Amino acid sequence: MLNKLRNARAEAIANMETLNTLAMEEGRAFTADEQTKYDEFNASQTALKTQIATAEKQETLNADMKMPTTTPAHIVSNNVDAELVDDAEFATLGEFMNAVRMGTDSRLNFVAGQSMGTGSEGGFLIPKKFGEMITSFTPESALVRPRATVIPGGENPDAEISFPALDQSGDKGVYSGVVTTWLAENEEIDETSFSLREISMAPKGVAGFIALSNKLLRNTSAASTLGTNLLRQAISKAEDDAFIGGNGIGKPMGFLNHTSTVSVNRDTASTVKYADLVNMVQAHKGDMKEWVISQTLYATIASMEDTAGSLIFTNGVNGIASTLLGFPVKWSERTPTKGVKGDVMLLDLSYYYVKDGSGLLLSASSHVKFTSDKTLFKVTKSVDGQSSMNDKLKLENGEFVSPFVVLDVIAG
């Protein structure tokens, strides 16, 4: 019924535009007959506008009397990159989320889950303007993405991509197997070549969950602010968990246990010593070093001294980052806890590649939190990530270094 009314109003407006265009092209005013028709079309679209508003209100009231469902009322397409025809009609993210909760608004664009690798449930495509708000990660709100090398989705966002890279693994070293030789006069040159490998990346589905009260969702302004922050936190946490510790099976390959990462065994179990940090700096290769340290180690690091008895940690003030041995520090609750492999990491995350896939999807269920009058939202996107290196880098002196250095447990 609503679509029929909207189509009738659109037709009336189109007829008004036709009359107006004709008169303008001929450089004249409306004839008496044209003016009559124009006024009739205008009266019709005005009346239809009122009917549409009433019908929409009634539809919302009817839906509010029923248990909310995640079943879509209107499937626009299975293309996750399709633009919503009535995208502009969602004034705020809160209005959109409330519409998803109801699941009956014809403006919603449902995308089947198969295209995202998330099963048959799928979700509603989040309008681009809201998606950009949710994924505007800062170095404070996300650990890996703001520091990584991000490859945009492109024309076929979920398709696998491949590109060449130097193979510097094993004895190939920095120069990827190229050998240089000093030559005597008339001596023949030995042919040498460098080794190439292929990096392949295919976006995988990642999901984050948040719960909002139904009362809050009816206050679209408040729901927009809180919803944006919570959805951003949900996505950044899900991504960081995979980018750090993912095993590459149905998710990105994290750097924590990757073959390109150098693990430095700590001197003493369950703590960190000055010598551990020095050894980590020695094993690091990269221009943008940054410490990422578990929040549980703050007291240990803040009071740590070098062999001369001087504090090695400098607390940041006035927007200047804290430093440790001269390199900035990022305290994190997403790293492993104190005493576990990865509680201290020295990273240059520009060597970590992130490949974006399709846009964000949002689905809702009232059943999980039914007794507490809350709606559980699941936000889904597709992304892949992996180290740009396939192994540790062997220097000319035989030592192995990496842009990813993590503190491991004691040897043995």
* Residue 187 pLDDT level (bands cut at 50, 70, 90): low
Residue 33: pLDDT above 70? yes
Please indicate whether residue 208 or residue 182 has the higher confidence score (pLDDT): 208
Say what the pLDDT of residue 86 is.
42
**Maximum mean pLDDT: which of 68-82, 180-194, 397-411:** 397-411
Q: Please give the Cα distance from 321 to 314 (Å, whole number).
A: 9
Say what the pLDDT of residue 69 is.
42
**Maximum mean pLDDT: which of 7-21, 169-183, 226-240, 263-277:** 263-277
Say what the pLDDT of residue 188 is.
65
CA dihedral of residues 65, 70, 74, 80 (deg, nearest 10)? 150
Tokens (6 digits) for 60:
């919302």
Residue 20: pLDDT above 90? no
The overall longest dimension of the chain from CA atoms, in Å, is 101
Domain boundaries, the chain: 2-64, 130-211+220-412
Say what the pLDDT of residue 88 is.
47
Mean pLDDT within 46-75: 64
Torsion sign over Cα 244, 245, 250, 253: positive
What's the burial of 272, exposed, middle or buried (CB within 10 Å: 0-12/13-18/19+)? buried
Mean pLDDT within 66-75: 40
Which of 28-32, 44-48, 112-116, 245-249 has the lowest average pLDDT?
A: 112-116
Residue 322 CB neighbour total at 10 angstroms: 19
CA angle at 302 for the pair 300 and 305, rounded to the nearest 5°: 85
CA angle at 374 for the pair 368 and 375, rounded to the nearest 5°: 65
Residue 179: pLDDT above 90? no
DSSP secondary structure code for residue 87 in this structure: G
Q: Please give the Cα distance from 247 to 259 (Å, whole number).
A: 12
* Residue 89 pLDDT level (bands cut at 50, 70, 90): low
Q: What is the pLDDT of residues 375-394, one digit of tens each?
A: 888 888 899 999 999 899 88
* Residue 81 pLDDT level (bands cut at 50, 70, 90): very low
Residue with the two structure tokens 């001269």: 326
DSSP secondary structure code for residue 334 in this structure: S
Average pLDDT over the chain, rounded to whole?
A: 82
Which of 267-276, 318-327, 358-367 has the lowest average pLDDT?
A: 358-367
Say what the pLDDT of residue 310 is.
95
Please indicate whether residue 64 or residue 116 has the higher confidence score (pLDDT): 64
From residue 357, give the alpha-carbon distance in Å to each of 115, 165, 348: 11, 21, 24
* Residue 54 pLDDT level (bands cut at 50, 70, 90): confident
DSSP H/E element including 2:
helix 2-25
